[in-house]
Every structure is written in C-alpha cells, then in structure tokens.
Amino acid sequence: MEKQPVVNAHQQELPLMIGYFIFSIILNSFGNALTVSLNLGSALWTAAAVNIAHTTLIPLSFVLVLEGIFAIIINLVLVGKISFSRIIGYLLFMFPFAYLVGILSRELILLGIGNLPLIVRVVLDCIGIICIATAISIYQRVNLILHPCDDMMQIVRFKFFRGNSVIAQLASFFIPITAIVITVMSERQLFAVNIGTVFSLLFQGYFVGLADRKVLPTLKHRKLDI
C-alpha cells in the first residue's frame, strides 16, 4: 500500500492563515483609504508624519518611510534582539499596504465621497477607523507579517500590559502624539488632525480588543515573539 504524505497541523492551517491575512490587509487598506478620502483627520502616525513634513519641508512619502524605520528600531529594542525575518516582514507589509491605500483612496475620491453631507462623512470616517482596528486584530492574531507600528502595539500589549489593547494602543500612540506636540510648538500650526484622529486615539484600542473577541473568535494570537 502506498504511504500517504504526512501533513502536520501547521501545513493544514497555513492556507487559512494566509486567507485571513489577505482579507485583513485589504480591510485595513480600505479603512485607511476611507479616512484619507473623507479628509476628516488622519490616523495618529500619519498625522504626525504630515506635521513633521510641514515643519522640516521633507517630502511626506520620505517622512513616512523614516517613521516606519524608526518604528522598526523601537520594536527591535523592545524585543531585545535583531530579527531579520521580522524586518523583512515589516518591509513586505508596508509596500503593498501603501499601494492599496493609494489606489482605493483615489477611487473613493473619484466616486465623490468627499461631497457627502458632513454627518454622513463623520459616520463613514468612524467606520473606517473600526475597519482599521478590526484588520489590526485579525493580522495580529494571524501574526505572519505586520506593519511595524501595529507590531509595536502588539509587543507592548503582551509584554507590559497583560494583553490590554486599550492601554497598549494609547502607549504606542505616545510617540506620534509627542511628535505632533513638538511640531505644533515649533510652527504654531496643526495639520491632518480632526475628528477621525480623535476617534482613533480614544477608541481604536477598544475596537481591536472587541474584534479579538467577536470577529473570528476561534482565531487566537499565534507565535508571539515579544
């Protein structure tokens, strides 16, 4: 009798994890594109980059790259080791994510989403933040590759705050908030901060934790390396 190949549990679940990851990165890209196209305030890391760009006159795209590199360095310090697989994962996440956000935001703008009544745009902006939080929850649990800013939140969440997503999100936002405060003190101007930014600050961590429990509840955090 011919022997059947042995398939371990990891091999069986990998296609499912990849499917979850693809869904989550599309959902995150859509949520970010929605908030960008509505122009009601960027998420905190993006808002910090916009303010730094205005203060230093460095192109925004370059500031975003520098911001990502800075987050990578912070993460490596937090975990206490250099992991090339982790760094490669960060880079593999950042480029398709940025590409998808660019495409989707342009399409939403062409659809005229910015011309909707203010109350509708506010509701859609909050929905965008909830989409982002849900996506973060999914790909943090899948844990194949992560955006460095989201991995920072995951590291501090489980290393310092016993899994509390609300406190961890606020802690990880400390860096962009500090950058925004410094640039505002320097320039006496504030850019890219609006109701969406405030909603993200106050509730994104809560919705990450809620999605952990309610969205794909059988999917648990895997292979945490903190």
Is residue 226 domain-resident?
Answer: no
pLDDT above 90 for 99: no
Q: Is residue 91 included in any domain, yes or no?
A: yes
Round to whole Å and give the CA distance between 162 and 179.
27
pLDDT for 64: 83
Assigned domain for 93 exists: yes
Position 113 in a domain: yes
The crossing angle, in degrees rounded to 10, of helices 44-56 and 60-79 is: 120
Residue 6 has a pLDDT of 45
Can you give the pLDDT at residue 39? 84
Res. 70 pLDDT band, cuts 50 70 90: very high
Task: Read off the pLDDT of residues 5-16 as tens digits, 9 standing for 90 and up.
Answer: 544 555 678 899
Q: At what angle do helices 195-214 and 44-56 cross, to 10 degrees?
A: 150
Residue 166 placed within a domain: yes
Range list of H helices, the chain: 9-38, 44-56, 60-79, 84-110, 118-142, 148-159, 165-172, 174-187, 195-214
In a domain, 47, yes or no: yes
pLDDT digits (tens, 9 = 90+) for 20-55: 999 999 999 999 889 888 889 878 998 898 899 889
Helix (H, G, I), strand (E, B) or coil at 139: helix
Within-domain flag for 77: yes
- Cα 177 from chain centroid? 16
In a domain, 5, yes or no: no
Q: Is the pLDDT of residue 84 over 70?
A: yes
Q: What is the pLDDT of residue 10?
A: 58
Domain coverage including residue 148: 16-214
- What does the pLDDT read at residue 11? 64
pLDDT attached to residue 202: 96
Q: How many domains does the chain have?
A: 1
